[in-house]
Amino acid sequence: DTAVSQTPKYLVTQMGNDKSIKCEQNLGHDTMYWYKQDSKKFLKIMFSYNNKELIINETVPNRFSPKSPDKAHLNLHINSLELGDSAVYFCASSFRGTNSPLHFGNGTRLTVT
Protein backbone atom coordinates (compact mmCIF):
# COMPACT_ATOMS: atom_id res chain seq x y z
CA ASP A 1 0.00 0.00 0.00
CA THR A 2 1.23 3.48 -0.81
CA ALA A 3 1.24 5.46 2.36
CA VAL A 4 3.00 7.37 5.07
CA SER A 5 3.70 5.00 7.93
CA GLN A 6 5.00 5.91 11.34
CA THR A 7 5.97 3.79 14.30
CA PRO A 8 5.20 3.28 17.06
CA LYS A 9 1.51 4.15 17.21
CA TYR A 10 1.62 4.56 20.99
CA LEU A 11 4.58 5.46 23.14
CA VAL A 12 4.43 5.69 26.93
CA THR A 13 7.60 6.66 28.71
CA GLN A 14 8.92 8.39 31.80
CA MET A 15 10.29 11.89 32.13
CA GLY A 16 13.94 12.16 31.30
CA ASN A 17 14.00 9.28 28.83
CA ASP A 18 15.10 9.52 25.19
CA LYS A 19 12.81 8.15 22.50
CA SER A 20 12.51 8.02 18.73
CA ILE A 21 9.61 7.97 16.31
CA LYS A 22 10.17 6.64 12.81
CA CYS A 23 8.47 7.68 9.60
CA GLU A 24 8.60 6.29 6.09
CA GLN A 25 6.77 7.23 2.91
CA ASN A 26 6.58 5.31 -0.34
CA LEU A 27 4.73 7.98 -2.31
CA GLY A 28 7.85 9.26 -4.04
CA HIS A 29 7.52 12.64 -2.33
CA ASP A 30 10.58 14.81 -1.88
CA THR A 31 9.48 16.67 1.24
CA MET A 32 8.63 15.33 4.68
CA TYR A 33 7.30 16.99 7.81
CA TRP A 34 6.70 16.52 11.50
CA TYR A 35 3.59 18.08 13.00
CA LYS A 36 2.56 18.13 16.65
CA GLN A 37 -1.06 18.09 17.76
CA ASP A 38 -1.21 19.48 21.27
CA SER A 39 -3.90 19.24 23.93
CA LYS A 40 -5.82 22.09 22.30
CA LYS A 41 -5.93 20.06 19.09
CA PHE A 42 -3.93 22.50 16.99
CA LEU A 43 -1.69 20.87 14.40
CA LYS A 44 1.58 22.79 14.38
CA ILE A 45 4.54 22.23 12.13
CA MET A 46 7.80 21.36 13.80
CA PHE A 47 10.21 20.48 10.99
CA SER A 48 10.32 19.98 7.25
CA TYR A 49 12.96 18.27 5.15
CA ASN A 50 13.36 18.41 1.39
CA ASN A 51 15.63 15.77 -0.11
CA LYS A 52 17.31 15.30 3.27
CA GLU A 53 17.85 19.04 3.72
CA LEU A 54 16.20 20.86 6.64
CA ILE A 55 14.00 23.64 5.23
CA ILE A 56 11.67 24.44 8.11
CA ASN A 57 12.68 24.47 11.76
CA GLU A 58 10.05 26.06 13.92
CA THR A 59 10.62 27.21 17.48
CA VAL A 60 11.09 23.76 18.90
CA PRO A 61 13.32 22.87 21.88
CA ASN A 62 16.63 21.49 20.71
CA ARG A 63 15.79 18.32 22.62
CA PHE A 64 13.92 17.47 19.42
CA SER A 65 16.22 16.38 16.62
CA PRO A 66 14.92 15.23 13.25
CA LYS A 67 17.03 12.96 11.09
CA SER A 68 16.48 12.18 7.43
CA PRO A 69 18.71 9.37 6.14
CA ASP A 70 17.06 9.59 2.72
CA LYS A 71 14.10 11.39 1.19
CA ALA A 72 11.75 8.53 2.06
CA HIS A 73 12.50 8.59 5.78
CA LEU A 74 12.25 11.23 8.48
CA ASN A 75 12.76 10.18 12.07
CA LEU A 76 12.22 12.26 15.19
CA HIS A 77 14.43 11.80 18.22
CA ILE A 78 13.48 13.41 21.52
CA ASN A 79 15.95 13.71 24.38
CA SER A 80 15.17 14.23 28.06
CA LEU A 81 11.42 13.92 27.63
CA GLU A 82 9.22 16.29 29.62
CA LEU A 83 5.56 16.09 30.63
CA GLY A 84 4.73 18.86 28.15
CA ASP A 85 5.97 16.73 25.27
CA SER A 86 2.87 14.56 25.61
CA ALA A 87 0.99 14.98 22.34
CA VAL A 88 0.19 13.25 19.08
CA TYR A 89 2.99 13.56 16.54
CA PHE A 90 2.14 13.30 12.86
CA CYS A 91 4.52 12.67 10.03
CA ALA A 92 3.55 13.91 6.57
CA SER A 93 4.96 14.12 3.06
CA SER A 94 4.35 16.01 -0.16
CA PHE A 95 5.99 17.33 -3.31
CA ARG A 96 7.74 20.63 -2.74
CA GLY A 97 6.85 23.75 -4.65
CA THR A 98 3.46 22.61 -5.83
CA ASN A 99 -0.01 22.70 -4.43
CA SER A 100 0.05 18.98 -3.80
CA PRO A 101 -1.58 18.29 -0.45
CA LEU A 102 0.22 16.76 2.49
CA HIS A 103 -0.27 13.07 3.10
CA PHE A 104 -0.25 12.23 6.80
CA GLY A 105 0.65 9.17 8.76
CA ASN A 106 -1.72 7.91 11.44
CA GLY A 107 0.12 9.60 14.26
CA THR A 108 2.11 8.56 17.31
CA ARG A 109 0.51 9.26 20.66
CA LEU A 110 3.31 10.07 23.07
CA THR A 111 2.53 10.03 26.78
CA VAL A 112 5.20 11.15 29.20
CA THR A 113 4.62 10.20 32.83
Partner 1 sequence: DQQVKQNSPSLSVQEGRISILNCDYTNSMFDYFLWYKKYPAEGPTFLISISSIKDKNEDGRFTVFLNKSAKHLSLHIVPSQPGDSAVYFCAAIIQGAQKLVFGQGTRLTINP
Chain residues that interact with partner 1, rule: CB under 8 A? 4, 31, 35, 40-45, 48, 50, 55-56, 90, 92, 96-97, 99, 101-107
Nearer to partner 1, 15 or 56 (CB): 56
Q: State the nearest-atom distance from the C-beta of 12 to partner 1, in Å.
A: 16
How big is the chain, counted in residues?
Answer: 113
**Which residue, among 1, 3, 5, 2, has the nearest Cα to 107 in the 3D structure?**
5
Closest CB 11 distance from partner 1, rounded Å: 14
Cis preceding linkage at 101, omega within 30: no
- Rounded Cα–Cα distance for residues 24 and 57 (Å): 19
Minimum Å gap between C-beta 90 and partner 1 is 6
